[in-house]
Structure 1
Amino acid sequence: MSRIAIVFPPIRVSRDFIDYPYFADLGALQAAAVLREAGFEVDLVDALAMEGATLTSREDDPGYVLLGAPLGRVLARVSDETDVVLVAYTPFHRPPSRDELLAKLLADLAAHRPDRPLVLADLYQSGQHVVDVPSHEILAAYPEVSVLIRYEAEGVLARVLEDLVRRGPPKEPFALVPEEPPRLDDLPLPAWDLVDLPAYFAFHEATIRGLGRPHWAFPIGGKSAPVLTSRGCPYRCVHCSSNPTARKDGELVRPKTQRRYAPAYLDRLLGDLAARGVRRVHLLDELVNVNERHFDAVLDLLEKHDLGFEIPNGVRADYVLARHVEAMKGRMTTLSVSAESGVQRVVDEVVDKQLDLSAIQAAARLAQQAELPMLVHFMIGLPGETKRDINGTLAFALDLFEQTGAFPSVQFATPLPGTRLGAEAKKKGRALPVVSDWGPRFQQVPTIATDAFTEEDLRRFKWTFDERIRASEGPKKVIMNVTYKCNNRCTFCATGTRSQFDGDLDRQRELLVKYRKLGVTLLDFDGGEPTLNPNLVRLVQFARRIGYERVNVTTNARMSSYEAYARELVHSGVTSILTSIHGPDAQTHAQNVGVAEAFDQTVAGVKNFVRLAPPGVELGANITLTKSNHKKLFDVAALVFDLGLRWFNIQFLTPFGRATSSVCPDTAAAAAETKRTIDAFRDRMKIQVINLPFCFMPGYEDFLLGDMLKLERHMLFVNNEEVNLFEYLRERRVKKPVCEACPHEVFCGGFYELEDVPEPTWLIRPEDLVRPIAADVPRPFARH
């Protein structure tokens, strides 16, 4: 009996890999079963299921990890008695470049037994994703190889290996591109009996620990194993690399099809895995639910064998039914679907996906009702897209997320060789580099540029969207106006027209408890002037006692010019104090705050803070830019630094209160002063810019994010009104034609309109008005 060694080697992958390298050995298990049934004695040497299989990082190879057992241990398991060595080849080897680990494996095997044939075979089963490059380029990269077998090799393996055993290595290496295997149900079950399952499961746990990801949409711990219930996909999306034998040079030469295993076969397969201790299976099908009857049978069998499951390649949204979602609930971690674009024209004409985007929305609503987390895939940078289309995609993704909680995964369109997208990109001179890893490009590096957008445009689109989503998931903030009293009369004040009274202490405590129970941990006490409320210190102490982690007081610091008060405030439990300084000298400050003596008292208060504050209390300053102070911003920053403060917030006018065009500076001129100030102090102070559209400060986007990352900010007013400030301010902004193609549109929100700004109805009583109330002013609240 001829003896065959099937080797799945360790693999080197980016930490940002796509697909599932920890399950890439499934094809090797299937090949082992096929050859054993054909009469060969088979040794399975699986680097992912050996003692010592783990995830390893190398200091000299940042960003990459090694998965599997050490190469020396793998080589030691290949017996000298084997007649042929069959080595598994996967997309993780980045064909056709010469992979370091695979090359060393083949070179060592060839040097040890030069008379023994070496076969390299596409043994990768994960929705039949491939990197479809010319066979002669792969053979050139691995001259040690006798035969290269492409794609689904099971139908020809036995014949090829019998010939190699009988005749020995061929005079010239050759490649074989087989047809699809005849009948999937005629294949034997994958040879799981040859796998050291405890070592396999231990490897998965080591991978989880080594990657250190806080969340896995498709967790691999807890005794997980890969499964295929079908092969291929009948759809013809431009970016997809499935069904490689249906394409030539990226173009379809025959219809794509899907072949499915029968329920009886799957019943035996799932039963075998359950009996071996597997508790969760990952269905690696390209499209598991395209046939309703097949998917119903799969779900029934998973329930029969009491197996949890994941579908990491996702499902078609237009085939998701309510009963399917109900069957998934409690057995699956995340429902994954692909929209590709949020613009129907792009989905139809560019992606060729044959999908109505309303199906994505319907599936998201079903998942939301079932409380099943949902992941939706999008890509940007497709030839045929415009910047406006990209913003349409990001807006669709964001709206879906806000309405249903369906999490958007936005990636760069990446033209894998052999796809139509690859062919189109190559025509434009934008082919994917084959000498580097293509995996990280989906997340990190755009490949395609067109007349409509550059690679830098795509980076900015994705950066903005990622930051916008990060803000949605970031800490929430409550701003409590504890009083309407104030000893200044600022020209831009949002509360200066109100009746002068403090909030009710008991009601304020109730509101603090309410928002703390909702998970809010950031709190800002504001006013009016909060230090004029005699209960401020008690409120700070109460907030810290019930669990607020960060408590800020925004003040004009005039009360803190009295040393005793300053000492009490800095030791009250506050974690930060922001002092409002609106000019570098008494005259400019007085022009903005309306009180001649205010400047000297504010400066004295800051000096007390710096001298008396205990470690851990962060001290900073605010300025609101107006016509009278924006040209002196640099001097204010110098004063702030000289006073000993290392945090400076530069705030553009907010459209309510007195903040109208009468006090608003020219925005572009104020932005120019802001950039000049940042350039001088960026290495010495933390600087944040608030309420300014991104387009006024290109290249300074990081400075505009600090406050925006606290996306959901609830303003609690003295009269007990509660308003989601972000939502209200969003209603006060307008989009202009220039916004349609702006890479920051999805986060920015547009421009504030400051002409004839009405007082919001929730700010004041009718008798306090200085201008009419707009009847249609919205009263938005938090989304829950």
Structure 2
Amino acid sequence: MARALVVHPPVSVARDFIDYPQVADLGAVQLAAALRARGHDVRLVDAYALPGSTLRWRDDGRAHLGAPVDALLEACAAASPDGADALVVAYTPFHRPPHRDDLLAALLEGLRARFPEAPLLLADAYQSGQHYVEAEGVLEAYPEADAWVKYEAEVTVPALLEAEAPPRGVHRGEQADLEALPLPAWDLVDLDAYWTFHRRFTEHLGRRPGAFPLGPRTLPLVTSRGCPFTCAHCSSNPDRRPDEPKTQRRLPPERLHALVDALADHGASHLYVLDELLNVRRSHFDAFLEAVAARDLRFEVPNGFRADYLEPRHLARMRGRVTTVSVSAESGSPRVLGELVDKKLDLAAIRRAAENAEKAGVPLLVHYMIGLPGETEAEINETLAFALELWDAHQAYPAVQFATPLPGTRLAAETERRGHALPLVDDWGPRFQQVPTTSTVPAEKLALFMRTFRHRLRESRGPKKLVMNVTYVCNNRCTFCAVGTRTQVDGHPTRQREILDKYRRHGITLVDFDGGEPTLNPELVPLIRHARRVGYERVNVTTNGRLCAYEGFAKKLVRSGLTTLLFSVHGPDFKSHAREVGVAEAFDQTVAGIRHCVEHAPAGVELGMNVTLTKTNFEKLEAMTELAWELGLRWLNVQFLTPFGRATTQVAPDTEAAAAVTRGVIDRWRDRMKIQVINLPWCYLPGYEAFLAGDAQKLARHMVFVNNESVNLADYLAERRVKKPVCEGCPYACFCSGFYELEDVPEPEWLVTPESLVRKTRPELEAR
């Protein structure tokens, strides 16, 4: 029998790698066991299990995983001081051509120099569960190697070493009988060094632990190989011949229990399950859950589960043992799912999985992809809407990626059939996150869909700001007022402090005090001081500024602890302003108030102007901007009507015309002032998305009314918005609620009862 040296090489990956390079050594460990079972004298040298094994960032931006090549070569020489009859080097998915990987090349050169007579084999040692990229020219890229064994290696590599002729050329690996395979040879690995490498990998990666973290003593395994489903984008079963069906081979229950027991006996506390699909057969999955429960192990299944085979009892048994359960929806469009992906899945199963995971208290991640050949813009929006529906309703986290045509998949073949040549790339990993490849939709527009979706998702993770109406009393009578005819009454100071405390306990650090006219509430300054005292970091007040015409009050307000102060100004002169606010003297008082506040505001307090556009003032926006500048304000909010109360078509401007005026103001002032546009669908200002971003933030704002009721601000405003046919394929549709309806604007419930002012608040947040 041969003296065989099996080597798992170091790996380099892009920052945005895919799959699980940190456990890519399983193939070498399993192959070493197979060779040993055949009677060979096996030495295993694992680049992940040497004293210096770590993750190190290289100058080219890639991560080096494992020991340095020189250290690995020294370990090989020490492991085989009398030489070796054969060298077998694992050729992982992270070493593929078209390039010659520098780490693997250096290792092969060093091995050839140290063991010049020994045949050198590259072996995929494919275990299932990692994306397999078909490659040509491997031996040309690595002339140091004598042979390459594709796919599985446990049968073919021993046969080649036992043949009379030395191995040469490319060999197709024969599938192993999983029941007959020996257990992985982890006894040949320095597991303390291996787990130290895992710890260093996590520490140096520079990311949060993520959905599938490595535990303190993690060992990888597979309990099955292959997948019986025929999804177009999948690279599973790479050794399947064209006329063969897709199948899955599984360990029988007794062998599965033996594998889990062996890993636990080696000291594992966590298992990293690399199966393509662990729950294809319920009895197999049940046996796995029984085995890990018997040894009290945690586990991660990064390739996820089939949603329609995932039952509530499974989720209940996984609670506390997994960090995240993942399933794949792929698309929210039934046509795309059936015709383009060939998923054979009812989306109702994804909904059930989300509901059941929430009930079980198990975090759920759902995979989607956009940009498939033949997919329309409207179907992309179906997917994004479905993803956000499950996120908003059940906190099922949506992992949306670009469809990526890995060579050898049906998706790649369809991409080429449509006339798109596959790019020649060194690493497919970053393309899963950043680069559209296959889409019928232009790449630039597809990227806009993705940016918009991610923006919407960021703003949908619970409230970040509280908007508190401290009063409905007002000394103006604005033509567009959303408060309308509500009872002119202040909020109850005790209850409003309780609400501030409640939101602060939930982590909120931003608060807006609004009205009515908040300065008319004598409790405003005490409320501001209370907010800062309990930990609010940013406090804004929106005011008409008239009371600030009294210099003493202005000084008191700007030094109360607020951080921003916005003045509502709706005309550049007294006549036009009075027409909007219904009070002749308001303009002079507001301007005087602004001047006093600018004079007395301490450093760090930001002052700005709010302008609401109407039919009679929108053409004066440039003049109002000049007024803001002259008064010393460097922040301008341009607000289209909020469709409640008095804000109807009678006062609304022509939206296209007002948007054009707004665009001109942005063009002329963007380098001098901070400008935000509120309540305008994004399609009116293409290319100006950065100025509309504040609207998306309403998803993360709760508004509390004077009567202590609360709403999600985006949901509240969405009641007056409608989607039109033009919205179906709009890349902004996933968080734009459509066009505002200003016909038959509802008058808010006008009566505020004394009882509603003093009713006790609940400790939890009422709105999403």
TM-score scaled by structure 2? Answer: 0.94
Which of 546, 550, 555 is the equivalent residue of 1:567?
555
Counterpart residue identity of residue 458, structure 2: R
Query: In the alignment, is the contact (CA less than 8 A) between 1:475 and 1:522 conserved in 2?
Result: no
Once residues 218 and 109 of structure 2 are traced to their aligned partners in structure 1, the CA distance between those partners, rounded to angstroms, is: 33
Q: CA 1:228–1:663 in structure 2 vs 1: closer, same or farther (change >3 Å)?
A: same
Distance across 2 between alignment mates of 1:587 and 1:74: 83
Measure how far apart 1:782 and its partner are. Answer: 4.6
More displaced 10-residue stretch of structure 1: 410-419 or 214-223 = 214-223
Deviations 1:719-748 (A, max 9, x none): 334333321211211111000111111111
Q: 1:489 to 1:90 in 2, by over 3 A?
A: same
Query: Aligned ranges for residues 368-767 of structure 1 at < 5 Å?
Result: 368-450=358-440, 453-473=441-461, 475-761=463-749, 763-764=750-751
Report the CA distance shift for 1:111/1:575 in structure 2 as closer, same or farther (over 3 A): same
Aligned counterpart in structure 1 of residue 108 of structure 2, from 98, 106, 109: 106
Contact 1:570 1:613 in 2 (8 A): yes
Deviates more, 1:462-471 or 1:430-439: 430-439
SS at match of 1:741: coil
C-alpha contact 2:548 2:596 (8 A) present in aligned 1: yes
Which moved further from structure 2: 591-600 or 214-223? 591-600
Alignment of 1:50-199 (within 5 A): 50-58=50-58, 60-62=59-61, 64-79=62-77, 81-127=83-129, 129-133=131-135, 135=136, 137-163=137-163, 167=165, 170=168, 174-181=169-176, 183-199=177-193
Q: Does residue 301 in structure 1 map to residue 291 in structure 2?
A: yes
Contact between 1:671 and 1:697, CA under 8 Å: does it hold in 2? yes
Per-residue deviation, residues 89-108 of structure 1 (Å, max 9, x unmatched): 22222433322322332234
> Deviation per CA, 1:664-723, whole angstroms, max 9, x where unpaired?
112122222222222333333332221111111112222211342241433222233433
Please report how far the alpha carbon of residue 352 of structure 1 lies from its aligned counterpart in structure 2 after TM superposition.
1.0
Letter of the structure 2 residue corresponding to residue 238 of structure 1: A
CA separation in 1, counterparts of 2:240 and 2:588? 79
1:481–1:327 Cα change, 3 Å? same
Structure 1 residues 192-341: aligned runs within 5 Å: 192-247=186-241, 252-341=242-331
For residues 225 and 674 of structure 1, the distance between their equivalents in structure 2, rounded to whole angstroms, comes to 59
Q: Which amino acid aligns with 2:389?
A: D
Q: Flag the 1:268–1:731 CA change in 2: closer, same or farther, 3 A.
A: same
Inter-CA distance 77–429: structure 2 relative to 1 (3 Å threshold): farther
Counterpart amino acid of residue 481 in structure 2: C
- Give the conservation status (yes or no) of the 8 Å contact 1:525–1:554: yes
* Stretch of structure 1 that moved more, 197-206 or 93-102: 93-102
Give, as a single letter, the amino acid of the residue that structure 1 aligns with 2:414. Answer: E
Question: What fraction of aligned residue pairs are identical, expressed as a percent?
Answer: 59
* 1:515 CA drift (Å): 3.2
Q: What is the rounded CA distance, in whole Å, between the counterparts of 1:84 and 1:682 in structure 2? A: 69
Q: Alpha-carbon deviation of 1:496? A: 4.8
**Number of equivalent positions:** 753
Does the 8 Å CA contact 2:559/2:601 hold for their aligned counterparts?
yes
Cα distance in 2 for residues equivalent to 1:718 and 1:274: 60
Residues 56-85 of structure 1 show CA distances to partners (whole Å, capped at 9, x for unaligned) of: 223x423x3222222222222222723332
Deviations 1:304-330 (A, max 9, x none): 111111111001111111211111011
Alpha-carbon distance in structure 2 between the residues aligned to 1:397 and 1:146 = 49
Range with bigger deviation, 195-204 or 474-483: 474-483
Structure 2: distance between partners of 1:294 and 1:487 = 72
2:7 is aligned with 1:12: no
Paired amino acid for 1:86: V
Matched to 2:174, the amino acid is E
- In the superposition, relative to structure 1, how do residues 85 and 503 fare at CA in structure 2: closer, same or farther (>3 Å)? same
Shift of 1:576: 1.7
AA in 1 matched with 2:105: A
Indicate if the aligned counterparts of 1:712 and 1:782 stay in contact, CA closer than 8 A. no
Partner SS for 2:593: helix
1:536 Cα deviation (Å)? 0.3
Question: What is the deviation of 1:526?
Answer: 0.5
SS for the counterpart of 1:200 is helix
Q: Distance in 1 between matches of 2:219 and 2:603?
A: 52
- Aligned partner of 1:464: which letter? T
The 1-side partners of 2:287 and 2:307 are apart by: 18
Shift of residue 377 of structure 1? 0.6
Q: Secondary structure at the match of 2:494?
A: helix
2:212, 2:323 within 8 Å by CA — same for their partners in 1? Answer: yes
Confirm or deny: 8 A CA contact 2:544 2:568 kept in the other structure. Answer: yes
The aligned amino acid for 2:205 is L
Letter in structure 1 aligned against 2:107: L
* Residue 36 (structure 1) aligns with: 36
Shift in Å, 1:113: 4.7
| Alpha-carbon distance change, 87 to 525 in structure 1, aligned in 2, over 3 angstroms | same
Equivalent residues of 2:312, 2:360 under 8 A apart: no
Structure 1's unaligned 5+ residue stretches are 767-780
AA of the residue aligned to 2:112: A
- Equivalent pair of 2:679/2:695 in contact (CA under 8 Å): no
Question: In 2, distance between residues paired with 1:82 and 1:632?
Answer: 86
Tell me what 1:770 maps to.
none
CA contact (8 A) 2:710 2:766 kept: no
> Take 1:524 and 1:71, find their aligned partners in 2: how far apart are those partners?
58
Three-state SS of the structure 2 residue aligned to 1:648 is: strand
**Which residue is 1:769 aligned to?**
none
Matched-pair contact (CA < 8 Å) for 1:337–1:375: yes
Counterpart amino acid of residue 143 in structure 1:
P
Structure 1 partner of 2:758: none
Could you say what secondary structure the match of 2:427 adopts? Answer: coil
Question: For 1:312, what is the secondary structure of its paired residue?
Answer: coil
CA distance in 1: counterparts of 2:209 and 2:549, whole angstroms: 49
Contact 1:116–1:169 at 8 Å: present in 2 too? no
Contact 2:8 2:89 (C-alpha < 8 Å) held by counterparts: yes
Cα separation, 2, equivalents of 1:588 and 1:195: 81
Offset, 1:162: 3.6
1:783 offset after TM fit, Å? 4.5
How many Å separate the matches in 2 of 1:618 and 1:434?
Answer: 51
2:757: which partner in 1? none
Q: Deviations over 1:111-160 (max 9, x none)?
A: 55554432221124342531123x3x323322322111111111111122
Deviates more, 1:639-648 or 1:526-535: 639-648
1:278-320 Cα deviation digits (max 9, x unpaired): 1010111001111111111110000111111111100111111
Amino acid of the structure 2 residue aligned with 1:263: P
2:12 paired with 1:3: no
The alpha-carbon distance between structure 1 residues 257 and 193, as it changes in their structure 2 partners (threshold 3 A), is same
Q: Structure 1: how far apart are the matches of 2:424 and 2:107?
A: 21
Contact 1:94 1:438 in 2 (8 A): no
> Which region of structure 1 is more displaced relative to structure 2, 192-201 or 110-119?
110-119
Task: Determine if contact 2:453/2:735 at 8 Å carries over to the other structure.
Answer: yes
Q: Distance in 1 between matches of 2:166 and 2:31?
A: 21
Number of the residue aligned with 1:774: none
